[in-house]
Structure 1
Amino acid sequence: MAGSQGEGWRPARPAGWRRRMARLPLLMYRAGLGPLFGNRLLVLHHTGRVSGLDRTVVLEVVALDREVPAWTLASGFGPTADWYRNLKESPRTTIQVGSHRVPVTAHFLSAEEGGRIMARYAPRHPRVARRLCAFMGFEVDGSEDSFRRAGERIPFVRLVRSPAPGPAAG
């Protein structure tokens, strides 16, 4: 399933102009332009597990459940991504969707759930799904089954609305 990379491999973090481009949505949120992203992107506020400092990152919403409400995210840098590890340490936090701040609790999904999510996501966003899989070193042939297998290896997190604000209200 994975390319030539081993189990511990993870994509390189963006540097230089790519890092600046990756941070552009956060700057747009800070400028009050978050509503332009609709429900497609959100700002995750999280607490650094070592530093204890408030951190923020903009992430793509892979699935949205409006009834609960809940937002599902994929960790494109795998289980060693800082935001993912920080949520493991402190699962109660706050997100910003559009111009709304929402207290949430992180729930880490099983490999089987991740596979089902990716199999549903890929037909709706085929180019992005292929890019995510390639970025992580997974080979997909475009079939539902290949996306399901890739999704079983991608860490997914569901952020469920909480009754009270999390500690990293930002």
Structure 2
Amino acid sequence: MASLASRMLHTRWLVRAPIPLFRAGLGFVFGGRLLLVEHLGRKSGVHRFVVLECVERPAKHRVVVASGFGERSQWYANLRADQHCWVSIGFARRRPAIARTLPPEVAEGVIERYRVAHPKAYDELAGVIEESIGSTLEAIPYVELILT
């Protein structure tokens, strides 16, 4: 099963399919589980879009996401270069936000709470991440998006 999910994550059209729904204001259909991050390309300055899974939402204005492909994820590198972005989640559309990479000790708590709350999803996701990039869920970067 991890192999199929890993292949799906590498299928560009599939992972980008929800973007038009978010841009049309239909992000609420994902129930807050997925979110759209709009950011600027670090070299091009062009607006870029990525749909990510909400790992944790500790407050209405704070969302934590994981960089499943590690530090080589383009969206992650772009947010490291410019922390300003826009987030669409649920009924909220294109809210300005600031991105900050969580320190490892804080990220450990996030992934542990995710493991406890969603044990089956954790096991599946751990297998997919390991197969996709050869890393563990604990080793990938976690980013907090603070909606302003």
TM bin, normalised by shorter chain, reads: 0.7 to 0.9
Of residues 107, 115, 118, the one that matches 1:125 is 118
> What are structure 2's unaligned runs of at least 5 residues?
1-5
Q: TM-score, normalised by structure 2?
A: 0.82
Letter in 1 for 2:57: L
Structure 1 Cα separation of the partners of residues 30 and 96 of structure 2: 19
Of residues 150, 157, 161, the one that matches 2:147 is 161
User: Does the alignment pair 1:152 with 2:145?
Assistant: no
Q: More strand by proportion, 1 or 2?
A: 2
Q: More helix by proportion, 1 or 2?
A: 2
The alpha-carbon distance between structure 1 residues 33 and 161, as it changes in their structure 2 partners (threshold 3 A), is closer
Structure 2 Cα separation of the partners of residues 85 and 93 of structure 1: 13
Counterpart in the other structure of 1:55: 48
Structure 1 Cα separation of the partners of residues 119 and 57 of structure 2: 17
Alpha-carbon RMSD across the aligned residues, in angstroms, is: 2.1
Offset of 1:13 from its aligned partner? 8.4
Q: Which runs of 4+ in 1 moved over 3 A?
A: 11-15
Offset of 1:42 from its aligned partner? 0.7
User: Does the alignment pair 1:66 with 2:52?
Assistant: no
Name the % identity: 36
Aligned length: 138
Q: TM-score, normalised by structure 1?
A: 0.73
> What are structure 1's unaligned runs of at least 5 residues?
1-10, 139-149, 163-170
Structure 2 Cα separation of the partners of residues 112 and 14 of structure 1: 27
Structure 1 Cα separation of the partners of residues 97 and 23 of structure 2: 20
Q: Map residues 79-158 of structure 1 onto 2, 5 A cutoff.
A: 79-100=71-92, 101-137=94-130, 150-158=136-144
- Max Rg structure: 1
User: Does the alignment pair 1:76 with 2:68?
Assistant: yes
